[in-house]
Structure 1
Amino acid sequence: MPYINFKEENYKLSKQLANRKNNNINIRKKIIKDHNLVREYGPFDEFSFKNIKNKIIGSDKILDEIDFRLEVGKNFVCVNFYNCKFQNIKFVDCSFIGCNFNRCMFESGGVVFENCTFTKSDSIKTPSLNIKDNFSATFEECKIYAKFKGCDLSYSIFENSILKNTSFELSNMQAVIVTKCDLHDIEVCDSDFQKFKTCKCYINNFKFNDKYMTTFDEKTFFDKLIERKKDRDEYEGIYTVYQNIADKYKQNNLNSNFGEYYYLAKKEEHKTLGFLPKLESYLYWFSCGYGERPIYSIYTSLFIIFLFAFLYLIFGIEIHEQLVQYSNLQTLEFLSIDKLYRDFKEAFFLSVSLFTGVGGENSIAALSSYFWADIEMLIGVIMTGIGTGTLIRKIIR
């Protein structure tokens, strides 16, 4: 069985997403009614507590980062940005508390967020000891070309958006939910991805460029990736993404999670292989699920046992010193269902005994079946070793 139940994880994620949205709505209503609840973020920017539509924020040109318009120390609280364009602008030490970005474009030369905060963790309730609100920002149906450096994006929501050539460096991405998004050329560097989750995303080139280490935990979850083009380039891209994710789990000593994404990576790699490598991949897959599915060893072993049982009936088996050979027309002439059942039962017992190397009592392989018997014994030894090794490896994890 897989270590990660993707169906269950997606179900829990959908409930978590609904609860987070409701939490944001309820807190926003209270803050809009009483601005003193967020007085620590004053003085507020002129946009705070307003609906901002169809506005260009930044410079209407394509510029290098060094020439971006600079905004320092601004506090945007409970702003609904709708159909706005953010371009060629750099926000430093700014706060975006409870802001909604809907159908916004972060484009042109791009947008830089440096040491910015998108979440209010402390509670507006009194007493607030040990209570967290996690009042977060939402990006919905946005196109994002940006750099997030040293930012707190924890509990943020990215939904139905496109993120392209976007980087997250030294940022807090705890409990971020990314759902139904396209992620192209994403780079992560030394960020906190604990409880980070994706759902139904198309991901092309998602890499980690760490100097130290991006942190994962047991609740970090990447959903299975969507396939669209279904060509070799896409399969290679998906394989690389899965492999990068698997390696990062391994660096965080989450070996079971590593195993699941390694398995998904090998399945995608399989689609790109030539004839001989693909044949080898099939053997590795069916025998033990690329080392991650011990149950596959049992399925494959049962298939082999049944297959050789039929081969013994065809090529010959001696049952109580009488030769039974279904390739003989005379045998088929007097065949009945009852006789077929008895003969197959003996052939199956013989196949099991040869596969496990213990030998049989009532039946033996006929001279014409010795070759198949030798092959089955050899396969049995190999499959026993593979199955035992795979199972022990999973148990140790």
Structure 2
Amino acid sequence: MECRWRSVHNAETKCCRRADSSGYCIFHKENKSREENSLFIYLIMKEKISDFRGFIFEEDFIIRDVVNYNYLKLNFDEAIFKRKVFFNKYEFKKTLSLNYTDFRGYITFESSIFFENCELTKTKFNKKYIANKAFEKVHFNGQAFVITSAKNLPRLEGIIFSPCTKLVLRFVKYSKDNSLYGKINYRIARTQANIIGDSERIGYYYYNERNYASKMMKSSDYPRYSSYLNDKFFDLLSKYTIGYGERPWRLLRITLIIISLFAFLYMFCGVKNANGDFIGINLNKIEGYSIKEAINNYIDLWYFSTVTFTTLGYGDLTVSTVFGKFLVCLEAFSGVTIGSTWASLVIKRMIR
């Protein structure tokens, strides 16, 4: 009888080894006895296994004591480590794959050397050890270190990257309580992206770094509460208007909202054209306007709002009321501010 193990993520991947009464082979079997765990390690070394997909490690695993033979690739995809894992002081001469791997205990890569790539997709780490510097003193000489959607990813501090290594950190999220580690890891990713000139991802890393730094802001860290409110206000303003400078297209949406809002307000104060005709809605005669007339007036006022926002000032439409003049000044100031912000963001991205 063949082992019943099947890959959850690839239906064509299965185990062809013989199973015991549990329905699984010794590599994919849970709740192994002490003797079975010893046999488990012995068979790995005897068969020089490098494909550990779906293996269940129930005892402490020290890779340098077990994998001391040549291999083409180390594949630990979907493996489960129930106890401590020591990937430290080891030379990974080929690619290491840890996709969908579940580390339920302590893990360390300290002082290891990577000569090729390392992949971590939806890898799970124990939240208890999220603050550990699991990669301290690691020398990464490979081409790419790719981390995607990893859960509870420990701190990446201490990794020494080669000038050619690409660090890819995508969709890795942290709770508010662990924002510090998100800030640290995305800062490391941004620094490495700057070194290798990976301009495509620098903005993404910077946004996430600032986002987690924002979550760490506390009033207790400021001498005055007013200082905290001031910094928090401008931080949120920067986040939701321009995405900390990395999502400038948000300004386009805000621009359209501002122009449309002011056009609506001009409906009630009204403007005059070159012939002195009133364009707007007279609140005393509001019941006399049809929907078509209201729409036509709004279109004219949207045009006036756009001209005011961009500070073109054609002069074909003007306001005469005090409230109208106040709105024009406010919208013109908003337009100048947003226009200069947009220009600075475009120049920043062009320079990058």
2:169 counterpart residue number? 222
1:252–1:149 CA distance, 2 compared to 1 (3 A): farther
Q: Deviations over 1:16-48 (max 9, x none)?
A: x859x96x98xx99xxxxxxxxxxxxxxxxxxx
2:119 maps to 1:137: no
Deviating beyond 6 angstroms after TM superposition, the runs of 4 or more aligned structure 1 residues are 114-119
**Sequence identity percentage:** 16
**Correspondence 1:151 to 2:91:** yes
Residue 223 of structure 2 aligns with which residue?
none
Deviation at 1:236, TM superposition (A): 3.6
Give the structure, 1 or 2, with the largest relative contact order (CA under 8 Å, sep 6 or more).
Answer: 1
Query: Aligned equivalents of 2:335 and 2:65: distance in 1?
Result: 61
Distance 1:300 1:141 in 2: 48
TM-score (norm 2): 0.72
Q: Distance in 2 between matches of 1:234 and 1:211?
A: 23
Q: Report the CA distance between 1:202 and its aligned residue.
A: 1.0
Matches within 5 A, 1:193-204: 194-204=143-153
Q: Distance in 1 between matches of 2:184 and 2:200?
A: 19
Q: Offset of 1:214 from its aligned partner?
A: 7.2
Q: 1:396 to 1:329 in 2, by over 3 A?
A: same
Distance 1:335 1:172, change over 3 A: same
SS in 1 for 2:143: coil
Q: Which amino acid aligns with 1:250?
A: N
Could you tell me how far apart the structure 2 residues matched to 1:171 and 1:116 are? 15
CA-CA distance at 1:358 after TM superposition = 0.9
Instruction: Give the length in aligned residue pairs.
Output: 306
Does structure 2 conserve the Cα–Cα contact (< 8 Å) formed by 1:243 and 1:261?
yes
Are 1:169 and 1:191, in contact at CA under 8 Å, matched by a contact in 2? no
Shift of 1:211: 5.5
Please, what TM-score do these two structures have when normalized by structure 1? Answer: 0.65
Question: Would you say 1:336 and 2:290 are equivalent positions?
Answer: yes
Question: Which among 229, 245, 265 is matched to residue 189 of structure 2?
Answer: 245
Unaligned runs of 5+ in 2: 1-8, 18-24, 219-228
SS in 2 for 1:196: strand
Alignment of 1:11-160 (within 5 A): 54-56=36-38, 76=45, 78=47, 97-99=50-52, 102-105=55-58, 107=60, 111=62, 113=64, 120-121=71-72, 135-138=73-76, 140-143=79-82, 144-152=84-92, 154-158=94-98, 159-160=100-101
SS at match of 1:375: helix
* Residue from 304, 309, 316 that aligns with 1:350: 304
Corresponding residue number in structure 2 for 1:177 = 119
Shift of the 318–295 alpha-carbon distance from structure 1 to 2, 3 Å rule, reads same
C-alpha displacement of 1:187: 1.9
Q: For residue 74 of structure 2, what is the amino acid of its counterpart?
A: S
Change (3 A) 1:216 1:145: same
Per the alignment, residue 43 of structure 1 pairs with: none
Post-superposition shift, 1:256?
2.4
Q: Deviations over 1:176-235 (max 9, x none)?
A: 222332233222433135333233321343223146657532xx43231245xx4x3133
Within 5 Å, give how 1:243-392 maps onto structure 2: 243-273=187-217, 275-320=229-274, 321-324=276-279, 326=281, 328-368=282-322, 369-392=324-347
**Is the Cα contact below 8 Å between 1:318 and 1:363 reproduced in 2?**
yes
Structure 1 residues 54-106: Cα deviation after superposition (integer angstroms, max 9, x where no partner): 3249xxxxxxxxxxxxxxxxx93645xxxxxxxxxxxxxxxx64455722146
CA RMSD of aligned residues (A): 3.7
Q: Give the structure 2 partner of residue 13 of structure 1.
A: none
**What letter is aligned with 1:208?**
E
Deviation at 1:348, TM superposition (A): 1.0
Q: Structure 1 78/314 Cα, relative in aligned 2: closer, same or farther at 3 Å?
A: farther
